[in-house]
């Protein structure tokens, strides 16, 4: 093996070790607390825990149902009508929620449906003159459907677009009517994609944190993740947090195993564009009308909170906000953390990709590779099994147990950076993986032949070839980190705050105008990054 291979090997193993340390440290924290207060952990499996677990599943199931069923109608309508003006705009609109941080979406939901929301005057007559606003389950469902209906619609549309054009031609020639076409072509295509779509949406809703933290809370509307946060942040009860975390891990473990056995994607959509299609099945007049109605309703539902967010954000005193030192400090911290974690995410992903490829080749030569190849290939998606709040909780407990809570000034930023990077990795992997493997197939033997190794090879061959996907992965990871309210919720303080944390704090102290302004700034920053990611991803080397 060449020197480059061993350098790549080391980088890859180091990346695996870091991920292992991240999860292992959290686990150690939990075990430590469990052994210290053994009886209490078992005792913490009380009715409150089970009700949080039940609510987690219940709201996720409802969110999935309310997202996926309408999404199928929307996807069918969008598939049939491919020429109406504004179709591209609506597809773009459907990509927007993905780019928006959970905390912003939660706030946008309040801005539209809340007690003082845009729709409150319209809804007031329905509630005897005083609209009570959405809170708890109804708010959580609205926000989750806002996120996931467009996601599910785009995935279902993709499934329909994947039907070979010849199928539609054949159906046209055989004279199939709409019913026969649905039965013979559309339903099989949708049916094979639906379990994956529903599974992904369920997983996203079961592990959603920022939305539930903002709109739910309290014993009646608390998910496991939020309960973990509350146990640590308010009750300071590591034993309860450990019990909750174990339950959460068991739950996500089951979900991920189930999802993977269905062949579902774990990362959803990362690109903002959709392929065009050659053959257009004919549409009747009544279908056209009902289709346009469905599309208009969905667009209004997705666009509504965005408009509410924009309007209330613009009403905020943005110049004053940006002048505040707390805001500027949070902005700088957020950007620095986002840059660092994006860099880390891309580096870790590259290292794992290289390691997997090398191990795969070695296996083909007959050298048994065992778990390392498997870990290199799956490590990135396995990290999704461990929700960020759980990793944060484990390390938080560890820091407490070690009596070093004051050290959170160091542990906090390091942990936020690493966990955000790890969470972005599955997405970066999907953006970068195919291009990386293709470039490797094209250049590996030639580079070895020319003796091009190590840094020189990275600089001369790999980086130029992967420029587009690398930029896309970087921007995507940065956007995710910028909008994240996960680990920071535990470690954040007056001395260490990010934009989402500040936004959450302002909402908590009912400074709604400030919150709206911050939400707008945050949303626009994330959106800009996502658009860069989409554009860069389209440029192929």
Partner 1 sequence: MSGGLEVELRDVRLSLDGFEACFDARLEAGSITALVGASGSGKSTFLNLIAGFDRPGSGRVLIGGVDMTERDPANRPVSMVFQENNLFGHLDIAANVGLGRSPSLRLSATDRADIAQALERTGLAGKERRKPAELSGGERQRAALARVLVRDRPVLLLDEPFASLGPALRTGMLDLLTALQRETGMTLVMVTHHPEDAVALGGQALFLEDGRVAASGRASNLFGPQGPEAVRRYTGRT
Residue 36 or 167: which CB sits closer to partner 1? Answer: 167
Nearest C-alpha neighbor of 98 from the set 64, 66, 146, 140: 146
| DSSP per-residue codes, 21-54 | HHHHHHHHHHHHHHHHTHHHHHHT-SHHHHHHHH
Count interface residues toward partner 1 (CB under 8 A): 19
Binding mask 436-475 for partner 1 (x = CB under 8 A): ----------------------------------------
Q: In the set 3, 116, 170, 407, which binds partner 1 (CB under 8 A)?
A: 170
Q: How far is the CB of 80 from partner 1 (least distance, A)?
A: 17
Determine the Cα angle at 464 with ends 463 and 467, to 5°.
Answer: 75
Report if residue 282 touches partner 1, rule: CB under 8 A.
yes
Of 126 and 179, which has the nearer Cβ to partner 1? 179
- Which span (57-65, 169-177, 212-220, 234-242) binds partner 1, by CB under 8 A? 169-177
| Rounded Cα–Cα distance for residues 95 and 538 (Å) | 15
- Under the binding rule (CB under 8 A), the answer on residue 233 touching partner 1 is no
How far separated are the first and last CA of the chain, in Å rounded?
Answer: 28
- Residue 48, both tokens: 């409150």
The closest of 411, 362, 416, 363 to 389, measured between CA atoms, is 416
Q: Minimal CA–CA distance to 171: which of 161, 183, 160?
A: 183
3-state secondary structure of 114: coil
Q: Which of 96, 123, 176, 307 binds partner 1 (CB under 8 A)?
A: 176
Instruction: Kindly tell me which residue out of 82, 169, 363, 538 binds partner 1, with binding defined by CB under 8 A.
Output: 169
**Residue 180 binds partner 1, judged by CB under 8 A:** yes
Q: Is 179 in the site for partner 1 (CB under 8 A)?
A: yes
285 binds partner 1 (CB under 8 A): no
Residue placing its CB nearer to partner 1 in the complex, 180 or 292: 180
Q: Pick from 65, 66, 96, 184: which binds partner 1 (CB under 8 A)?
A: 184
Which of 279, 314, 410, 434 contacts partner 1 by CB under 8 A? 279
Could you tell me which residues are beta bridge partners of residue 217? 221
CB 146 within 8 A of CB 109: yes
Q: Establish if 402 lies at the interface with partner 1 (CB under 8 A).
A: no
Q: Measured from the CB atom, is 46 or 166 closer to partner 1? A: 166
Lookup result for tokens 């924290």: 29
Among the residue ranges 36-44, 80-88, 176-184, 318-326, the one whose residues contact partner 1 (CB under 8 A): 176-184
330 membership: H or E segment, kind and range: helix 325-364
Rg from Cα positions in the chain = 24
Phi then psi for 227, rounded to 5 degrees? -65, -40
Q: Is 263 a binder of partner 1 (CB under 8 A)?
A: no
Site residues, partner 1 (CB under 8 A):
164, 166-167, 169-177, 179-180, 184-185, 188, 279, 282
């Amino acid at each position: 093996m060449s020197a480059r291979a061993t350098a790549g090997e080391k980088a890859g193993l180091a990346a695996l070790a870091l991920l292992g340390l991240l999860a292992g440290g959290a686990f150690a924290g939990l075990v430590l607390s469990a052994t210290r207060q053994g009886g209490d952990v078992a005792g913490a499996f009380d009715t409150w825990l089970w009700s949080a677990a039940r609510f987690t599943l219940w709201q996720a199931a409802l969110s999935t149902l309310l997202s996926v069923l309408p999404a199928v109608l929307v996807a069918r309508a969008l598939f049939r009508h491919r020429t109406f003006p504004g179709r591209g705009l609506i597809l773009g609109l459907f990509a927007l929620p993905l780019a928006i941080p959970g905390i912003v979406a939660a706030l946008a939901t309040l801005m539209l449906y809340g007690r003082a929301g845009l729709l409150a005057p319209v809804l007031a007559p329905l509630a005897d003159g005083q609209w009570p606003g959405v809170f708890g389950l109804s708010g959580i469902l609205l926000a989750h459907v806002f996120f996931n209906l467009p996601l599910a619609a785009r995935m279902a549309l993709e499934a329909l677009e994947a039907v070979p054009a010849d199928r539609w031609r054949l159906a046209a020639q055989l004279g199939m009517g709409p019913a026969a076409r649905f039965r013979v072509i559309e339903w099989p295509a949708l049916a094979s994609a639906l379990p994956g779509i529903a599974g992904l949406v369920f997983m996203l809703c079961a592990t959603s944190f920022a939305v539930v933290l903002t709109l739910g809370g309290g014993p009646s509307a608390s998910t496991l993740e939020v309960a973990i946060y509350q146990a640590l942040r308010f009750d300071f009860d590591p034993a309860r947090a450990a019990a909750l975390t174990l339950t959460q891990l068991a739950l996500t473990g089951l979900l991920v195993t189930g999802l993977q056995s269905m062949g579902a994607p774990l990362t959803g959509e990362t690109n903002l564009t959709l392929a065009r299609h050659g053959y257009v099945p004919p549409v009747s007049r009544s279908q056209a009308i009902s289709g346009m109605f469905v599309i208009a309703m969905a667009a209004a539902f997705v666009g509504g909170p965005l408009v509410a967010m924009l309007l209330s954000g613009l009403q905020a005193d943005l110049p004053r906000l940006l002048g505040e030192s707390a805001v500027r400090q949070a902005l700088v911290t957020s950007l620095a953390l986002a840059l660092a974690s994006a860099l880390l995410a891309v580096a870790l992903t590259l290292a794992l990709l290289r390691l997997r490829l090398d191990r795969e080749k070695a296996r083909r030569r007959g050298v048994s590779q065992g778990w390392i190849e498997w870990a290199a290939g799956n490590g990135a998606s396995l990290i999704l099994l461990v929700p960020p709040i759980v990793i944060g909780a484990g390390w938080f407990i560890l820091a407490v147990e070690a009596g070093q809570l004051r050290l959170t000034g160091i542990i906090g930023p390091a942990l936020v950076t690493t966990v955000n990077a790890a969470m972005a990795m599955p997405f970066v992997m999907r953006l970068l993986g195919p291009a990386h493997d293709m470039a490797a197939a094209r250049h590996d033997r030639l580079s070895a032949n020319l003796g091009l190794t190590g840094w020189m090879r990275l600089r001369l061959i790999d980086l130029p070839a992967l420029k587009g996907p690398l930029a896309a992965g970087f921007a995507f990871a940065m956007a995710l980190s910028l909008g994240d309210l996960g680990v920071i919720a535990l470690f954040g303080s007056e001395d260490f705050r990010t934009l989402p944390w500040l936004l959450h704090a302002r909402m908590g102290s009912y400074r709604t105008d400030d919150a709206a302004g911050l939400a707008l700034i945050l949303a626009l920053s994330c959106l800009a990054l996502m658009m860069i990611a989409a554009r860069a991803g389209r440029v192929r080397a």
